[in-house]
Homo-oligomer: A and B are copies of this chain.
């Protein structure tokens, strides 16, 4: 009998105390409601179920419930069970804190911050086009096929199904020389960089050369690991590796410089690998949007030139969605163990999404999605280039051959006012200044970094209009 009820209902933690069981239970329940621990509307377990849990008579629980309904703390309604009454628990000014928390009296910080009307910040793809139905189908197939022990603690490198699928895909589509044994799955590219930063520092590295323009968050991750970042000069052929002397490693975006948009010139690709071979340095290749290329010959992964000296970093954040928190590092043979150890010796990425992505890759759904979105992004890029040429001839669009963003060059001295004007129109867009390494010697360039992949389809033309309206005409 107790067994039967044990599987029904919900759990409710109570610690009745004192001599009278019914009074003790009533007091404990009242206190849980009064203190706000049980929120208004919370459904309580049935008296049968709670009695079985507490090992007491059902009548005792039913009596306590009845007392509290009479007192107004609970409500009992046919079909809806017993619930905590609304409006009875005094909302505490300081919810459970002992010390004064001034902001608790003002409006609490919202759980979800407000979003701008139009968003052209780079970094995210069109999330409204995330292939939800296809993803769920793949999740079902993956979970159906997975052995039960796939749900256990796993290899710190990630699920073998995903590493195998990635090895095949990266070799075919990006020219990466991949081997499942050398792949480590990470919770986003930043997580991968954090691991590599720790490993480099533990090996005695002090300095990582970076690009003059890039992501501040990546430089901070390396700094947190105790590494100094030194920017390399940049010109129309991309980042100049001539100044690499003294660096222990270099972080590059060779296929599509972020945010400038140019590929690393062929000679410089060779020069970087030569430097690494000559000095024992390590190249960190951030291939964040390598799948998205439009009118030019694709640029393969630098890693293909020397998989012993180049770490390849890829991600599902641009091709699918950042919220998946799935990225991957293809490592030289001597680094795999150290990176897995830096992960804490256990996998930290959810197995279900890993298995689903593996199924997505092997079934061809990933290729289909990338190719379909690539076409849509190319159309957006074409519309952007045409609109700017027609409506803002003083601005110049560059870095358009690939990726989900362009660089929009502005007349000198106008960047900040354009960003501000955009803000007033409800358009969120980034100036180039925020991507400039503090130690960069070259003169700053006025430009916007326009992420045309970001808006959902219904907001795209509005975002483009808003952008053109604030550009110097």
Closest to A294 in B: B6
For the complex formed by this chain, how many copies does it contain in all? 2
User: Does B175 contact A344, Cβ atoms closer than 8 Å?
Assistant: no
- The residue in chain B whose Cβ has the minimal distance to the Cβ of A130 is B151
B-side contacts of A174, CB under 8 Å: 13
Would you call A181 an interface residue if the criterion is a C-beta within 8 Å of the partner chain's C-beta atoms?
A: yes
The A interface is mostly helix, strand or loop, or mixed, namely: loop
CA–CA, A371 to B171, complex, Å?
Answer: 47
Asked if A374 is at the interface (CB within 8 A of a chain B CB), the reply is yes
Judged by a CB distance under 8 angstroms, whether A70 is at the interface is no
**Which residues of the partner chain B approach A153 to less than 8 Å between Cβ atoms?**
123-124, 317, 322-323
**Complex contacts, A413 vs chain B, CB 8 Å:** none
A8 at the interface (CB under 8 A from B): yes
For A322, give the chain B residue with the smallest CB separation. B153
A280, chain B: closest CB distance, angstroms: 12
Taking CB atoms, residues of chain B closer than 8 Å to A124 are 152-153
Asked if A154 lies at the interface with its beta carbon under 8 angstroms from chain B, I say yes
B321 in contact with A152 (CB, 8 Å): yes
User: Using Cβ atoms and an 8 Å threshold, which residues of chain B touch A13?
Assistant: 172-175, 298, 300
Chain B nearest CB from A139 CB (Å) reads 6
A236 at the interface (CB under 8 A from B): no
- Nearest to A94 among chain B residues (CB) is B333
Residues of B within 8 A of A163 (CB): 111
A89 to chain B, nearest CB (A): 12
- Taking CB atoms, residues of chain B closer than 8 Å to A151 are 127, 130, 321-324
Check if A307 sits within 8 Å of B96, measured CB to CB.
Answer: yes
* Contact of A9 (CB < 8 Å), options: B140, B187, B333, B371: B371
The answer to the question of A211 belonging to the interface, with a C-beta cut-off of 8 Å to chain B, is no
With A168-B39, A323-B152 already in contact, the answer to whether A297 and B349 are too (CB < 8 A) is: no
Do B306 and A325 touch (CB < 8 A)?
A: no
Which chain A residues have a beta carbon within 8 Å of chain B's beta carbons?
3, 6-15, 35, 37-39, 42, 53-55, 95-99, 101, 108-109, 111-112, 115, 123-124, 127-128, 130, 132, 135-136, 139-140, 143-144, 148-154, 160, 163-164, 168, 171-175, 177, 179-181, 187-188, 190-191, 194, 217, 220-221, 291, 295, 297-298, 300, 304, 306-308, 317, 321-326, 333, 344-353, 364, 367-368, 370-372, 374-375, 456
Residues in B whose Cβ lies below 8 Å from that of A53: 298
Q: Taking the nearest CB of chain B, how far is it from the CB of A143, in angstroms?
A: 5
Which residue in B168, B180, B188 is a CB contact (below 8 Å) of A42?
A: B168
With contact pairs A13-B173, A177-B96, A179-B95 given, residues A150 and B323 touching in the complex (Cβ less than 8 Å): yes
Scoring A220, A325, A368, A375 by chain B CB atoms within 10 A of each residue's CB, the highest score goes to A325
In the complex, which residues of chain B have a beta carbon less than 8 angstroms from the beta carbon of A136? 136, 139-140, 143
